[in-house]
Structure 1
Amino acid sequence: MNQPLPFGAGGHTGPTGPAGHTGPDDLTDLTDVMHKVAGGDKEAFSTLYDALAPMVFGIVVKVVRDRSQSEEVAQEVMIDLWRQAARYRRESGTVSAWAATIAHRRAVDRVRSAQASADREQAQAARAHQTAFDQVAEQVESRLESEQVRRCLRGLTELQRQAVTLAYYGGLTYREVAEALRTPLPTIKTRMRDGLIRLRDCMGVTT
């Protein structure tokens, strides 16, 4: 069923909207309507849709927050009600309560999916950055004996040059470099990163 949701049009603002629209008292018993929907009655589904769509949207938008996504999720909920109508049982509660449960579950799923997608993108970006950094470090290290590197090292700040030299000539860890230079570890990491980037640019190293 691809009937458009009435959100933002025609005055539908929710289950307690303008006069003539569905209110909470009208949602108490839609059992007969649901049974007809289960039998494939499209008119019954239109009735169900008009009764429940504002409530469903209200539940979804409180969880999802984004109106456009909420409209999509609410549409999916109404499609679920059409497809799953035969599974409804009166003893499980009212039709509106059943619809509310489905709406909340769908909304939570959308939020979790969006968060998971954002986390994956962030992790992927972090891995890509670290990979590129490691490649530069590896190529710089492999050329440390060359005159070109020594010349490029002279172009670094004193702290950058000392940190890079201790790490790649002396084989010290970041923490050991920080202790040797009596400099905070975060500062050493930053100087090492900036130093390697300047070496890359000076040497023409590509990633």
Structure 2
Amino acid sequence: MASGDRNALATVYEMTSAKLFGTIVRIVRSRERTEDLLQDVYVKAWRRAGRFDAAKGSPITWLCTIARNAALNELRHSNRNREIAGDELPEVVDEDVVPADEWLCNLEDSEALRRCLEGLQQDHRRSIVLAFFDGYSHSELAEKVKVPLGTMKSWIRRGLAGLRGCLDG
């Protein structure tokens, strides 16, 4: 892709579009908007391909980060105001987990993550799912759940520490 090879772009799209679609749709909750954002992600990837650094992570991690950031930017831009659902975990769509530095982004669909999330305290689990998979900011979560911002940050920090320990173990 970095050299402008359209066949390479087609191959990357074929190999990654389902995962990136899932990442975006979980955050924006609109199929139409997800399709538009997915196209934007590949345009950005095409333009930035020369800047990809394999030493910093895998290609899917890089693309997943672009997709997640695009979805989060869309939410912030649209100033969404949706209610926080119950304590449900995201659906498992893809069991093929790609190892990479940004482990949470890449492990979002894995059964191991689901199991480890279920082992967390309810407040920690719910905060992590809503922040990382549904795109809520710490301040949005604190406001919606009616807890101080410091408490929300602590829940997320402790929950992530618990996940790391569980996933590494």
TM-score using structure 2 length: 0.46
TM-score using structure 1 length: 0.38
Task: Return the structure number with greater relative CO, CA threshold 8 A, min gap 6.
Answer: 2
